[in-house]
Amino acid sequence: MSDKIRVGIYGAAGYAGQDMVELMLRHPNIRLVFGTSSTDAGEFIPYTDLRYIPPEEAIIEDADLVVLALPHGASAQVAKQALDAGVRVIDLSADLRLDTPEAYKTWYGLDHPYPELLNAPYGLPEINRDNIRGTLAVGAPGCYPTTTLLGLYPLLATEALDPGAPVIVDAKSGVTGAGRSPKANTHFVEVYGNLTPYKTGRKHRHVGEIEQEMHKITTQCGPLIFTPHLLPVARGLMASIYVTLNPTMTSDRVHSLYTNHYADEPLVKVLPLGADATLRDAVLSNHCAISITPVTETHVLITSVTDNLRKGASSQGLQCFNLMYGFEETLALI
C-alpha cells in the first residue's frame, strides 16, 4: 500500500466524481485517501470504507494528487493550495482550461484568481499527450470540447477544411452533463419526452474552449457554429459535425484519413464506413466512437460520441493521471 499514489477527490459525490471514484478504485497504483462532499458528508463513499468529508476538513498534504470535480471558481482555489503544497492536480472544471485570464473572464464572467495556473497543459491526450507527460497539473477538457475536437482533429491536423465555410456542430448531451445539483430545466417532467436547445448562438462557455484548441492546431478553418441540446437520457454525448473540405481533400478519402490517424489510439474507435455512431457505442465506456458520412464531394458529416462522464470527464482524467506518472496510458481504462 505504501508505494501507491495517494489520491484525494474534491466533489466526489457529484456525477463525474462518482465515476472517478469507481475508476480509480480499479487502478493498481492508486490509493484513495479522501473524497469530499458538502451535501453527503458522513455518508460512505461507494465501494470503499471511507466516508465523504466536508472539503474544509480535507488535509491536502495527505494526497500526492487531487482531482477537482468542483464548479469553476472553486477549483482554482484548491488547485493553488495543492500546487503550493507540492500536490499534483487534475482539474475537471474550467479553471485550468483556458489560456488567458481575459478568455476566462469572457466566457465565465469572473476574474481568474490565479492566472499563473493557466499554463497547465490541456488534458486531451490524443492531441496533447506529450505536454501532459510528467506535468504537475492538467486542465481536463469539457465533454463538448472533447467530443467535438476528437471528431475534427484529423481534418484540422491536415488543414483539409475550407477556411471560408463554417464548422457546424449540433451537439446533444445527457442530463448528467448539467451536474447533480437540481435545476428547474433538468427535472424529470421537463426533460422526459423533450429535446431542448440551450445557450444557442455564442452563449455556451465551451465555444471559447473549442475555438482555442482548434486554432492551436490550424488557423485554416472557418468559424464555429455550436448548438448544444439537452437529451432526455441520463448520460452520453453526441456531436454531429458538418464540415466543408478544401481542394486538398475529397469526401471519399476522409474515412481512411480517420482510420489511419486513430489506428494507434486505443480510446478512439472509428466505425466502418456506412455505420453511424450512436450513444450506445460509447455510453459506460471510456472511448470516443466516430463515424464518417460523405455527403457531397466537398461536404462530410462526422458523428462523434462519448460518455460525458467518462471520456468527457473522469476517464479522461485517469488517462491524464497515467501520463503524468508514466504508467501505461490505458491502465484501468480498458
What is the extent of the structural domain holding 223? 144-306
Based on the structure, what is the number of domains in the chain? 2
Q: Do 274 and 253 share a structural domain?
A: yes
Q: Do 124 and 37 share a structural domain?
A: yes
3-class DSSP state of 11: coil
Q: Is 332 contained in some domain? A: no
Q: Is 330 contained in some domain? A: no
Between the alpha carbon of residue 196 and those of residues 8, 232, 308, 320, the distances in Å are 36, 9, 17, 32
Q: Do 167 and 108 share a structural domain?
A: no
Q: Do 260 and 126 share a structural domain?
A: no
Q: Do 299 and 244 share a structural domain?
A: yes
**pLDDT for the residue numbered 1:** 44
Between the alpha carbon of residue 287 and those of residues 9, 69, 217, 327, the distances in Å are 22, 20, 22, 18
143, 221, 288, 320: the catalytic one is 143
Catalytic residue list contains 288: no
Q: Do 301 and 273 share a structural domain?
A: yes
Q: Do 318 and 275 share a structural domain?
A: no
Q: Is 38 contained in some domain? A: yes
**pLDDT for the residue numbered 183:** 81
Number of other residues whose CB lies within 10 A of the CB of residue 80: 16
> Could you give the CA distance from residue 179 to residue 234 in angstroms, rounded to a whole number?
11
**pLDDT for the residue numbered 187:** 86
**pLDDT for the residue numbered 189:** 85
Any idea what the CATH number is for the domain that residue 41 is in? 3.40.50.720
Q: Is 297 contained in some domain? A: yes
Q: Is 333 contained in some domain? A: no
Q: Is 257 contained in some domain? A: yes
Q: Do 134 and 41 share a structural domain?
A: yes
Strand extents, DSSP E, the chain: 5-10, 30-35, 65-68, 88-91, 137-139, 167-173, 196-197, 224-230, 237-244, 268-270, 288-294, 299-306
Q: Is 199 contained in some domain? A: yes
Q: Is 198 contained in some domain? A: yes
pLDDT tens for the chain, 334 residues long, are 458 999 999 999 999 999 999 999 999 999 999 999 999 999 999 999 999 999 999 999 999 999 999 999 999 999 999 999 999 999 999 999 999 999 999 999 999 999 999 999 999 999 999 999 999 999 999 999 999 999 999 999 999 999 999 999 999 999 998 888 878 888 888 889 999 999 999 999 999 999 999 999 999 999 999 999 999 999 999 999 999 999 999 999 999 999 999 999 999 999 999 999 999 999 999 999 999 999 999 999 999 999 999 999 999 999 999 999 999 999 999 9
Q: Do 94 and 166 share a structural domain?
A: no
Q: Do 319 and 292 share a structural domain?
A: no
Q: Do 255 and 152 share a structural domain?
A: yes
Q: Are strands 224-230 and 167-173 parallel, antiparallel or unpaired?
A: parallel
**125 in Cβ contact with 146 (< 8 Å):** no
Q: Do 173 and 88 share a structural domain?
A: no
Any idea what the CATH number is for the domain that residue 214 is in? 3.30.360.10
